[in-house]
Amino acid sequence: MRSYKRWVALMAALISVLGCAPADKPPLADHRLDDPPPLTEFRPGAAGIGDPDFPTDGNGGYDVSHYDLDIDYVPVTKQLHGVATIKAAATQDLSSFNLDFSGMTVSKVTVNNATATFRRQGSELTVTPSEPIDVKSRFTVKVTYAGQPQPIRDSANLGTFGFVATPDGAFVASEPDGSKTWFPNNDHPADKATYDFTITVPAGVTALANGELVGRPTTAQGKTTFRWRERQPMASYLATATMGKFDLREGRTPAGIAETAAVDPKFKASLNTLFKLSGEITDYWSTVFGPYPFSSTGGIVDDFAAGYALENQTKPLYGGFEPDPSIIAHELAHQWFGDSLSIKRWSELWLNEGFATYAEWLWSEHKGGKTAEAIFNQEHARPASDPIWAYPAGRARPEDLFNASVYSRGAMTLHALRKAIGDATFFKLLKTWTADHRYGNVTTEEFIRLAEQQSGKNLRPLFDAWLFQPQRPA
Ligand code: TRP
Ligand code: ZN
């Protein structure tokens, strides 16, 4: 730390602790406009990352590069013990910063190996390091915690998400902001990071996380430890530590991408189909959307009847049903749209769901079923009174993020675009889009600009009608 800042921070802290300023000078906080700026530059990081629809999701003042999650879970007691080691870089001078974390008991927090003080309020964990952190410097936060994770239950709209205990383990699917139910993190897709998972479970239980296994699982004293590593940046909501009894099939896709399929014994009969379809679809999307962005692919079917699937990075999770080709095509398309290219704000969720839904139509067309054009026509024929027309797909609402409009009108937007610019330009655009923003974050505005640039057409009216108007486009 630059020593003058250290001194100034120390003096400011001292003055505030003593509760008095030198008698001939006004207290620090009470400066006037024509005074020099306040002496200390160290400020608390914001409690939100700046998504206006989710004001306390994510945090300001730092950027995480890596999570190292060491987790011990006992299904019968539902007790989780965790140590999360988080590597980050400060984007401002920080006197304190927040992590998102809900429930559980935090026993210790260190920053750069020094004990830090912490405070909890709702889903915010505020950490005050013993020394303030300089802008641009890297720091390591270690949080030790334990308890029974509680998922988020939003029966009105999103259902149950986050860490969901099952009789034999846990079903972990956290979109949009449920990763805070099982590890402290910067819970917003605008801050992506790589992950190491070390998961210890009773022998006989399998722990599945993102990426690839590092070494073989090791068993000692009735417990097995699985190590998984996700080498490519990942949004927090895509992280999983799904545990339970599983039948596994490991291998490669026909094109040679490493693949893991896992099914709860209840879905034993689906294992080979899941493996085969996931491999075939991953390979096909690689020819349509551009090279597969990750080091492995696959899927998990667990026995929790979520009624939905989630595109967890490298291993989509299907909740309590045998997935058909259409939903596998959807979840694997998300590996490009949502996972490799992540949104900057939740209101632009159509960039995930519209693309993944359009992928279902493309898969149907590819397989000689209904063409994308036929499905578009059928969807477009929904009556003017259908609620999807009143709900503009380009502005997903926080209280109703996963509305059918975001999926269906989002997909129709892409088909309308394809018709306007032609197949050659449209499919080149998709590949350019995934290449330009690989592992990054994207906005609707960036997509519109690229589409206009690639086609040489003014596409504002088309996108406006399909994404932003509260009525059925002609
Ligand atoms: N993104 C998922 C899909 O369409 C659906 C989804 C919405 C979801 N909210 C969720 C999945 C919460 C799990 C948890 O593929
Ligand atoms: Zn989806």
Q: Enumerate residues lining ligand 1, CB below 6 A.
A: 158, 161, 173, 175, 308-311, 330-331, 353, 402
Distance 318 CA to ligand 1 centre (A): 10
Residue 33: its pLDDT value, please? 58
What the block records as the tokens of 308 is 């939905």
Instruction: Tell me if 78 sits within 8 A of 100, measured CB to CB.
Output: no
Residue 36: its pLDDT value, please? 60
Can you give the length of the chain in residues?
A: 474
Of all atoms in ligand 1, which is nearest to the CA of residue 330? 15
User: Does residue 176 have a cis bond before it (omega within 30 degrees)?
Assistant: yes
Query: Ligand 1: which of 152, 155, 158 to mutate, judged by most atoms within 8 Å of the beta carbon?
Result: 158
**Mean pLDDT, each 10-residue run in order, the chain (474 residues):** 52 46 42 58 96 97 98 98 98 98 98 98 98 97 98 83 97 97 98 99 98 98 98 98 98 98 97 98 98 98 92 97 97 99 98 99 98 98 98 96 97 98 98 98 98 98 98 96
Residue corresponding to tokens 């730092």: 62
**How many CB atoms sit inside 10 A of residue 157's CB?**
12
List CB-based neighbours of ion ligand 2 within 5 Å: 353, 356
In DSSP terms, which residues pair with 163 in a beta bridge? 172
Which runs of E-coded beta strand occur in 75-188? 79-90, 94-100, 105-111, 114-115, 117-121, 124-128, 138-147, 152-154, 159-166, 169-173
In DSSP terms, which residues pair with 224 in a beta bridge? 201, 219
In DSSP terms, which residues pair with 202 in a beta bridge? 223
In angstroms, what is the C-alpha Rg of the chain?
Answer: 24
Distance 323 CA to ligand 2 centre (A): 13
- Model-level pTM? 0.92
